[in-house]
């Protein structure tokens, strides 16, 4: 298993140091204040993937493809639709792409209940990714590769 520093993206094991069961990156530990850089332990060669038990409709698939294309072109996009239209599932291809590019994803929603519901949904559909939930009363860990928050 390889490690990667979430701040400087270092993967060279000679720069990692473990003390009290916390691993630090010595390349960037002096950056900024005395903030400690903890490492994300994950397999770098395991690609993030997702599986749905159903297919997107042709329009949802087209929107998903357009969203991914616009993301790859670094264009901002707003996805707006009624409840139950499949907005979350339309974003799956972009989320998968970003995570496989070692980018971080933050999915926000206005309510704590939705954070919990979305986390369960993402966990059942995505493989090889850790999901961090952050909301009022649940914020001990606030960093990660894929964050769902209020």
Neighbours of 138 (CB within 10 A): 15
User: Which structure tokens are listed for 145?
Assistant: 């590769």
pLDDT score, position 44:
46
**Distance separating alpha carbons of residues 25 and 38, to the nearest angstrom:** 7
The reported pLDDT for the residue numbered 93 is: 96
pLDDT at 128: 87
Tokens of 90: 């339309």
* pLDDT at site 120: 94
DSSP label at 138? B
Distance, first Cα to last Cα, the chain? 32
State the pTM of this model: 0.70
**pLDDT at 36 (0 to 100):** 47
Averaged confidence pLDDT in the chain: 83
Phi-psi region of 93 (alpha: psi -120 to 50; beta: other; left: phi over 0): alpha
Among 42, 149, 61, residue whose Cα is nearest residue 100: 42
CA distance linking residue 40 with residue 15, whole number of Å = 14
* Parts of the chain with a pLDDT under 70: 1-2, 20-22, 29-46
The pLDDT value recorded for residue 87 is: 93
């Amino acid at each position: 298993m390889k490690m990667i520093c979430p701040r400087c993206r270092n993967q060279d094991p000679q720069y990692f140091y473990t003390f009290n069961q916390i691993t630090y990156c010595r390349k960037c530990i002096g950056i900024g204040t005395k903030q400690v850089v903890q490492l994300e332990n994950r397999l770098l060669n395991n690609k993030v993937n997702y599986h749905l038990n159903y297919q997107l409709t042709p329009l949802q698939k087209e929107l998903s493809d357009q969203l991914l294309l616009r993301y790859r072109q670094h264009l901002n996009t707003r996805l707006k639709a009624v409840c139950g239209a499949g907005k979350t599932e339309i974003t799956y291809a972009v989320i998968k792409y970003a995570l496989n590019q070692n980018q971080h994803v933050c999915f926000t929603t206005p309510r704590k209940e939705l954070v919990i519901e979305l986390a369960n949904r993402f966990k059942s559909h995505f493989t090889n990714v850790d999901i961090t939930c952050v909301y009022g009363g649940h914020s001990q860990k606030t960093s990660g590769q894929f964050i769902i928050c209020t």
